[in-house]
A and B are shown apart, each in its own frame.
Chain A
Amino acid sequence: MSPAQWDLPPELCCRPVAFVALTGLDVVYNAIHRAIWDAFCANRRADRVPISFKVLPGDNEYPKCRTKRTSYEWYIPKGILKTGWMNKHLNLVPALVVLFYELDWDDPQWKEKQSECATKVEIVRTSLQGRNTKVAVVLIQKKTPLPPGEDLVASERASALCGACDLSGKSLFVLPHTDHLVGYIIRSDFLFLNKHQFKMGFFSELKQDTQNALKYYRTAYSLVHELRAHETNMLEIKTMAGFINYKICRLCFQHNTPLDAIAQFRKHIDLCKKKIGSAELAFEHTAWMSKQFQSFGDLFDEAIKLGLTAIQTQNPGFYYQQAAYYAQERKQQVGQLCSHEPGVGYPAPDPLETTSGALDFYGQRPWRQGHQSIDPPDSEKEKQGILALQVKERDIPHSELIIALLSNAVAQFKKYKCPRMKSHLMVQMGEEYYHAKDYTKALKLLDYVMCDYRTERWWSLLTSILCTALKCSYLMGQVKDYITYSMELVGRASILPEEQKSRIEKNLIKVLMNEVPEPEPDCDPLSVKTAQSLWSDRISLAGSNEFTIEVQDYVPFVQCKAKFLSPSFHIDEPVQLHVYVRADCPHPVRFSKLCVSLSNQEYNQYCLLEDASKGKDILEPSTQENMCLVPGKTRKYCFKFVAKTEDVGKKIEITSVGLMLGRETARYVYLNWRGGWGDAASSHETLQACRSFKKRTRFPEQQVDWDTVTIQSSTMIISRVPKISVQLTHEPPALTNEMYCMIVTIQSGEDTVAKDIKLTAGLKPGQDANLTQSTQITLNGTEVCDDSHPALLPDIPLGDLHPGQKIVKPLYIHCVSTGSRILLFHVAYSVSATVEGKDITCKCHKDETVTLETVVPYEVAMKFVSSKFEHLERVYVDIPFLLMMDILSASPWPIELVNSEVQLASSMNAIDQPQSQVEGVTLQTSECASECFLLKCPPVQNGTSTVASGHYIISWKRKSTFAETSVVRTIVTLPHVMVENIPLYVHAELPSFGRVRESLPVRYHLENRTGLVQDVEITVEPSDAFMFSGLKQVRMRILPGAEQEMLYNFYPLMAGYQVLPQLNINLLRFPNISNQLLRRFLPSRIFVKPQGRNGDTSIEAA
């Protein structure tokens, strides 16, 4: 039997279409006939009924029809479905035979032609031998026919022809109508008994009546399972069940009811799963099962291609996968059932040979076709047959089948977002390739998926994959792969038992010593033999015996962590680096080289550990030795080096750590840790370790707990710590505009000369940009800075400084605005030093920063007051007033007011020579100094206007014992003031005090300041404290520019401060000039002294 035995017959898988035979056409020589044939076959669109056409000669031999039974009584069936049946109805027995005949209605030889046509029809009929095939005649006519009913000759002759040919009128056609030929029906009177339901279904399908077909198939399916199943006909029943199931599922998908298809398939599998049949041919069952799943997968996939949507948990992949499982099981069974003795050959008269070369019925044994009883007729023949089947099965390329199914499944799962399932199937494919001895492909697949399992930390699965991969690499003699896989299998990611690890480690060491490793267990002995010779070839081969393994992609048995001891090192101290190495293998292992690569490769030479005793046997590790890794113990290697001065301010990074296993003389492998630590499993382990609450066990001396080793893979080289002191002496806060003195004292604490000292001082960069504008620094404190001075003075050379010496440098800072600023004092110098016996020139620098507050030294308040010290909102032309200044000290330090000065604007006149009244005054904190100036405004136009007053200039300095300070001139702008003309000016002339019961003469002057004659009404109100004489109420006229004088004699009655009798002045022409306004020019009170008992003198003296 061929491997195609389990394949479904092609006629089953195709979509059945009706078969129509065309006869009487000469397509080769007759152009008209050719055109007719093309019209039939070409351009058959999907909407037309699917028909398969064939041109046959008129006397074609059709399959013979056996006599039909009228009942199945006494009928002993030989089988269920004959093998040729479907093909017969698809391709051999036509549903309709169409006879083409060239004949026009008005043909002169009508009679002869008519009988010739009848003969032809008869020939066809005879050759069909009573099959229920319809026959139709097509007359190929040259003339266009007249509309029906009009051509009397035609209809008469047509009926005559029908009669002669024994045809119904409907079966006669005329050519121009041939396109409508498709509406034929095949006879459906194949009403057999229920055993022929499959055939019914098949015929229904032929008729494109799929719903009915499905119904028939379903009945057929249940009937098949009702058959009595025993060992002899099990295969036949299963084969039939498989066929029918296929048909049902196919139709379900076609009807877009995929769930029905799946349900049917599950039912089918559940029913047939246990029907194994002959135990000796169990592989037949698994092969059949595999085929069931595969064909269902195919159907499913096909349906998807036609628009069905599948989901992740229900896609064809699962069916292919299951098919692959059965294929694998089949292979296993073959291993058990077909491992005959070498002497057993294929049986001599081939029991599988049949006379016809094919089977009569589907699913029957070739050596007992048609046999239907429970027991096999000939037990010897049966044995021979089974043996023949087993021997044939042995030659089947099982692995190929399995791999094909698996790769189908992989493609599906890839589509339905199942990466893990895909990986799993790829592992299986790899394993199958391994079994098929295609190690290259196996390794390629396994290697591809390995990293997925590694990153997902499924160690159990990874170990199993690695074991297979190791076998492959061994059998192919792939040294690098062999080493890589061994390293991982020995390490902590592997769950292999100790003895396995030990075996692998020993092999690994052998390979590193350039010896042939022991074969892996359970390998094919033949392949092992090939592998051994491959290995010995490898070993004799010079070169290509060094490998680098990038550790971050694997979990090897050596772990490494490299760290700098500090995140930064000063240039005058050695950079220290520790490398921790640990092995997880069962036996101690020796390495021959440990090297650290740094970002600046010049340092690499200092971070190298090499085996001094080259050529020693690495198989004998001694635990005392430095370069031997004892399992489970962490080893520490220390390196140090002096950094180069040009690396100051730069970062040094560990780019990688390399560990060499093996010998340069034999074979060696470099484990390379990029960044100095970490393999594929480390990051998770580190995370877990740092999360852990576990109490750290104390390790004895020289031993380290691996988990506590932290990583420091880069370090900064920083400049040497300066041994100088920078001191700042000053008296904060600074006052606005003063030249604030800061004294910088630099003292050397170095042991050698500090050369080339440079001071950079001023506003620290990176602050508010406005501060740069409002801060100036200078070395010269005698004059006040202006905008041309910088905010930062860079690199002020200060020369050299011998040990113990100091430099004092005063600096002056001019702060224009208040607020805080950060000042920077940066002292740089160079000094020579010795590190680890090396002389280097170190550049050192020391920074001092200070935050300086700037405050206002004093507040100046200015106001205009009247001569009575009353506050004035406006001043009056030619009437004197006072300008008052209050200087309130806000400085925490005493301020000396050196001088003050008023610079009046042209609109103001001083009444007498203005002189500073605060000159030389020293103000303590929150003390106030005041002075005033008597001023007068000349007349202004328009009655009123606002005029500028001028400036007030204060010269002052901080009073300090600490440093000589310079005088600062501060100019304050005086406020503007409103000047107003007044129509009448009143002032009084009276003594400074009165005395009780003594006359007090008061003279009031009224001055008309306008160019008009003014009517003035004056009244004096009575007062309790005074009696008075004079005009109590008067009305008078004052001429322009004239002055009126009024004299009153007041007579005080009471002592003390007394309110004078109030003088009310009413200007009749200027009603808006109020009495109150005018009264402000007049005194309101006077001090009255009591009358002395013993005369005036005593009181005056008192």
Chain B
Amino acid sequence: MQTAIMIVANYPLYIRSVPTQGELKFHYTVHTSLDVVEEKISGVGKALADQRELYLGLLYPTEDYKVYGYMTNSKVKFVIVVDSSNTSLRDNEIRSMFRKLHNSFTDVMCNPFYNPGDPIQSKAFDSIVSTMMVQAF
């Protein structure tokens, strides 16, 4: 089953996809999903921006994938792409996956040697993502 997790700050910070050969397609999918993220953010009123829900929900359905989005307060976007035949994942599971990712991402950001905006190269983050992918898919 095809899946991808991507951390994006308008350009990719972290990419993990299974299987790896169709990666380019995932990249395009995630890239195009940013359109929807942008539209969703701009739709939210400025007053509500503070208590904004970080989880953006299903961004858009394609024939083959479901694309879910999440955006941290520092405008870093998390995108999870799952095969649309995967019915075991409900909204709640996706939500908790994002939360886990966010926690781990926060740890990465707290690392004084990590320079925000650089690609993420963290073993801890890698292993979190790996377990998540094994568990969920």
Contact = CB atoms under 8 A, between A and B. Distances in A.
Contact of B60 (A313, A687, A691): A313
Interface in A275-328: 312-313, 318, 322, 325
A420 B77 CA distance: 15
A325 B65 CA distance: 13
A325 B15 CA distance: 24
B18 interface: no
Given A417-B39, A457-B10, A460-B12, A692 B115 contact: yes
A558 B117 CA distance: 23
A325 B23 CA distance: 17
Given A417-B35, A464-B24, A694 B12 contact: no
Nearest to B33: A420
A318 B62 contact: yes
Interface string B41-62: 0000000000000000001111
Interface in A397-448: 417-421, 424, 427
A464 B23 CA distance: 11
Interface string B19-32: 00001100110011
B132 to A, nearest CB: 22
Contacts of A184: none
Interface in A659-696: 684, 687-688, 691-694
Contacts of A421: 32, 35
A419 B115 contact: no
Given A420-B31, A691-B115, A693-B113, A456 B24 contact: no
Contacts of B60: 313, 318
A694 B111 CA distance: 12
Contacts of B116: 691
Contacts of A461: 24, 27-28, 31
A456 B10 CA distance: 6
B63 A424 contact: no
B57 to A, nearest CB: 10
B11 interface: yes
A880 to B, nearest CB: 85
Contacts of B15: 460
Contacts of A420: 31-32, 34-35
B115 A693 contact: yes
Nearest to B8: A458
Contacts of A318: 60, 62
Contacts of A460: 12, 15, 23-24, 27
A325 B11 CA distance: 26
Contact of A312 (B10, B11, B31, B39): B39
Interface string B97-127: 0000000000000001101111000000000
Contacts of B63: 269, 322, 325
A313 B59 contact: yes
Contacts of B129: none
**How extensive is the interface on chain B, given as a class?**
20 to 34
Given A418-B35, A420-B32, A456 B11 contact: yes
A424 B113 contact: no
Contacts of B61: 313
Interface residues of A, number: 26
Given A424-B28, A688-B115, A419 B10 contact: no
B36 interface: yes
A1042 to B, nearest CB: 99
A313 B38 CA distance: 12
Nearest to B59: A313
A745 to B, nearest CB: 58
Contacts of A325: 63
B55 to A, nearest CB: 16
B120 to A, nearest CB: 13
Nearest to A312: B39
A322 B60 CA distance: 13
A688 B32 CA distance: 25
Interface in A731-789: none
Contacts of B31: 420, 424, 456, 458, 461
A312 B35 contact: yes
Contacts of B62: 318, 322
B11 A458 contact: yes
Nearest to A464: B24
Contacts of A312: 35-36, 39
A3 to B, nearest CB: 23
Interface string A692-735: 11100000000000000000000000000000000000000000
B115 A418 contact: no
Contacts of B34: 420
A693 B36 contact: no
A422 to B, nearest CB: 9
Nearest to B43: A312
A427 B31 CA distance: 13
Nearest to B29: A424
A742 B31 CA distance: 75
A688 B27 contact: no
B28 A419 contact: no
A120 to B, nearest CB: 60
A418 B32 contact: yes
Nearest to B115: A692
Contacts of A269: 63
B109 to A, nearest CB: 13
A688 B118 contact: yes
A688 B9 CA distance: 13
A458 B34 CA distance: 12
A326 to B, nearest CB: 9
A353 B25 CA distance: 42
A456 B30 CA distance: 13
A18 to B, nearest CB: 39
Interface in B66-120: 112-113, 115-118
Nearest to B114: A693
Given A417-B35, A420-B34, A688 B117 contact: yes
A418 B60 CA distance: 12
Contacts of A693: 112-113, 115
A694 B39 contact: no
A457 B12 CA distance: 8
Nearest to B38: A417
A693 B114 CA distance: 8
A715 B34 CA distance: 43
B35 A694 contact: no
Contacts of A419: 35
Contacts of B36: 312-313, 418
Nearest to B112: A693
A461 B61 CA distance: 21
A286 to B, nearest CB: 12
Contacts of B23: 460
A24 B115 CA distance: 90
A417 to B, nearest CB: 6
A359 B5 CA distance: 51
Contacts of B115: 688, 691-694
Contacts of A457: 10-12
A921 B136 CA distance: 105
B37 to A, nearest CB: 10
Contacts of B32: 418, 420-421, 424
Nearest to A325: B63
A689 to B, nearest CB: 9
Given A457-B11, A460-B12, 9 more contacts: A312-B39, A318-B60, A322-B62, A325-B63, A418-B35, A424-B31, A691-B117, A692-B118, A693-B113
26 contacts: A269-B63, A312-B36, A313-B60, A318-B62, A322-B62, A322-B63, A325-B63, A417-B35, A418-B35, A418-B36, A420-B32, A420-B34, A420-B35, A424-B31, A457-B11, A458-B12, A458-B27, A460-B15, A460-B23, A461-B27, A688-B118, A691-B116, A692-B118, A693-B113, A693-B115, A694-B115
Interface of A: 269, 312-313, 318, 322, 325, 417-421, 424, 427, 456-458, 460-461, 464, 684, 687-688, 691-694
| In the A-B complex, the 5 residue pairs with the closest CB atoms | A457-B11, A418-B35, A421-B32, A692-B115, A313-B60
